[in-house]
Structure 1
Amino acid sequence: MLKDAIEAILALQPAYSAANTPAMQRRGRLVRRVLPQALLAHHATLAAALGPYGEDLRIEGRDGLGSKSATPWVRFFSRARSPKARDGWYCVYLFAAAGDGLYLSLAHGSTTWGPGGFRPRPPEEMAGLRDWGRQALGVVDEPGRAPALALGGSTLGASYEQASILALRYATGAIPEDAALLADARRFASYLRRIHAAEDAAASAQPRRHLGGQGT
């Protein structure tokens, strides 16, 4: 079940270590297998909410490469639009380092890969992506939306905070039942559909703008 997997991950967050301790091994199985499999049980529902972008819906979780991350995550996404978590737009569950809650976020990849590993994208680049994403998303009716993310724990967590354009927070001890979690995930999948549709519209408009600029 979604709720059970989420609560089990949150319970292990206070035992965080960069080393692969027994607690982090348990957390890794939950993040990389159990929660993704619980979401996979609802693949058809999420794919339908994504519309044409749900044909290649994928679900994955990560808890760090080598050293363990203080902010594990599980995301659902279009493989064509976001082949790697550092690229493109997707929906993602982000677990706060302190274990006091998690977020369901609509976000863009916030890092690049280079010498030394992952690096946060420059602040001005992230600001431009957020501005575009919010404009593409338009008005949404989410009364419980989180005003900002507070993940804590690392520079990587801070980059995730800057990548979000819409999020819901679930507090530890008040995780909703699976039906409510799924309803939220379905809505966020529909918001991701809006983003991808706006990307397509922008791409198709570019040649027309180019031709129009030539004039007659």
Structure 2
Amino acid sequence: MEGKDGAGQRAEVVWTRVYSKSRTPSATDGWYIVYLFSGDGERVYPSLMQGTTEWIACELKPREPAALKKRIEWGSPAHRAIRRRALRLADRDPSQRAHEAWQGL
């Protein structure tokens, strides 16, 4: 788990990233779950995110649009599966939801 308020650029939205060190060693690489917190700290928004920049020659540079499109096409089925499971669990106790949401993925 990792929390930040912007890498190199301060952001009003604080976030926490839940990830696998072996599959997603940094926020610029791979897919991961992110909890985005509202500026006032009253709300949290779970999101499926991917690295959209690359570290090249000591600078963060945007990935090519075609490469991002290919990654989005690859990740869309997983995102839909996670969303369906979250909707099925929406009426359960929050602690039970969090535990059950990740079983079997």
TM range (shorter): 0.5 to 0.7
2:87 is paired with a residue of what secondary structure? coil
Does 1:69 find its partner at 2:11? yes
One of 183, 186, 201 as aligned partner of 2:97:
183
* Aligned-residue RMSD, C-alpha: 3.2
- Higher Cα Rg: structure 1 or 2? 1
Q: Give the alignment partner of residue 68 of structure 2, picking from 126, 129, 134.
A: 126
State the distance in 1 between where 2:26 and 2:73 align. 22
Inter-partner Cα distance in structure 2 for 1:115 and 1:97: 33
**Aligned-pair identity (%):** 32
For structure 1, list consecutive stretches of 5 or more residues without a partner in the other structure: 1-58, 145-178, 194-216
Q: Which has the higher contact order (CA 8 A, sep 6+)?
A: 1
Cα deviation 1:94-137 (Å, max 9, x = unaligned): 235686743211222222123574333233222211111123x2
TM-score scaled by structure 1? 0.36
Return the alpha-carbon distance in structure 2 between the equivalents of residues 61 and 72 of structure 1.
Answer: 7
Call closer, same or farther: CA 1:125–1:69 in 2, change over 3 Å. Answer: same
Task: Report which of the two has the higher share of helix.
Answer: 1
Higher strand share: 2
**Correspondence for 1:143:** 87
| Aligned residue number for residue 14 of structure 1 | none
**Which of 109, 116, 137 matches 2:51?**
109
Q: TM-score, normalised by structure 2?
A: 0.66
Partner Cα separation in structure 2 for residue 114 and residue 72 of structure 1: 25
1:1-216 → structure 2 map (5 Å cutoff): 59-96=1-38, 101-114=43-56, 117-135=59-77, 137=78, 140=81, 141=84, 142-143=86-87, 180=94, 183-184=97-98, 187=101, 189-190=102-103, 193=105
Q: 1:89 to 1:98 in 2, by over 3 A?
A: same
